[in-house]
Structure 1
């Protein structure tokens, strides 16, 4: 397998250093390509010339059925694996490691469009009220984090990696500087509620947490004064969602979805929402317009006197 594993290592280094992919993205791609290379080795395939589109299709089918991992992979995981393999083979062809790209003929079924789950405005209010119920250092931190996520639509990785210098609460229009995929920078306004929560945390809580650590520059810190992890942020949000009586699963990405959906429902332009979310393509943002269209259809169905036949 050295020929494949060496090529995979070069590809992953390329993603890190030249493409600026996030550690989370690189980790996912590494998992996909390692599994792929191990499968090729198990089949006795040791060179690019022995590969074909059917080889890759068989690998994806084994993922789908669970033959490789012991449990069937979700459609999204199979689609990501296919994307990883395509990117790997394109890189190998471009770098002259092979003269063939078997993934070019790969045919994979189109994924069904999965509409993002957004909370209602009342549910967001209940979640934030639960987060603001206490004023100990950790609760102040969590309230500031949740307010920031909903106010800016930031990804959780963007939020936990924020440094003190990335936020300006004293400008005429308070803003935060977020670094998205590929380290692409964007400036997002912060509303008054999030500003107040962040000021309370930075003045009354963060100094206490920071005194326990080794001088981390990130804004959000854990109880030991170290940078807050993504996993800890997920867990905290889940606790407050449960306290708020929200039965649906609530994650940091739920708040990002809610941010986008509520902006569009409030009349925001899809291009403006694209900029705020940091989407490279407006097509990614347009999935939220389907959510708001569904809401409008439901309102029409329930409120208009002749929207549906009552049988009278």
Structure 2
């Protein structure tokens, strides 16, 4: 739970909040500041829940794999950052693999991911995953049709084996509109601290938008199932995407002390949706 010191800090800010509420109609900056405060407060409460969740994962020797997929600049990295911010680093990992080595190219495709799977009592966040082969690789020409088709046949079986062995797989797709993606690309290029995030693949993201959509839809239709469903996060609003994806994960498990810090851990259905064929996505 949150400490008394933290709760006291919130009370000390009550005068600031009252001031912002009073003046928000006069200046948009006051409204922005108020929204940011409310977001940070809500996030902190949910992060406290995540700490309790992680303790339960450790105690019960659970294995949790959370996959973050989506187009470039869809908010995956920022969401992972908020998930792990206050967790025990000894019982969690972030996996963000580089392109395969020459040796890995000769191995079974899943080899490099199998060794990264969670151990008992561990949460692993995959910042992109084996699903590179379902969307990015075929669009960018990094795999051939035989490799792609083999993957699409094998991946449901692979995930079912993980499920049967007790590994919980949570698959997120962060859905961002074409206009918002372009805005974020431009923001990265104009920010000297974020230029490194813009890659040659990003550069083709807008040009190959329709190709990404085609492969994304094939991935959903062929790899969505009851034991490892796809969950779509509408991420044009990055802050809400972070909050609601955390809620979704917490809502899946009956961990110790659930709800002690955040009472109603139910994700907003306007932001979080299980995939279904006619679901409305931002990146159609």
- Give the TM-score normalised by structure 1: 0.29
The structure, 1 or 2, with the larger RCO (C-alpha pairs under 8 Å, 6+ apart) is 2
Where is the strand percentage greater, Structure 1 or Structure 2? Answer: 2
Larger of the two Rg values belongs to structure: 1
- Give the TM-score normalised by structure 2: 0.31
Where is the helix percentage greater, Structure 1 or Structure 2? Answer: 1
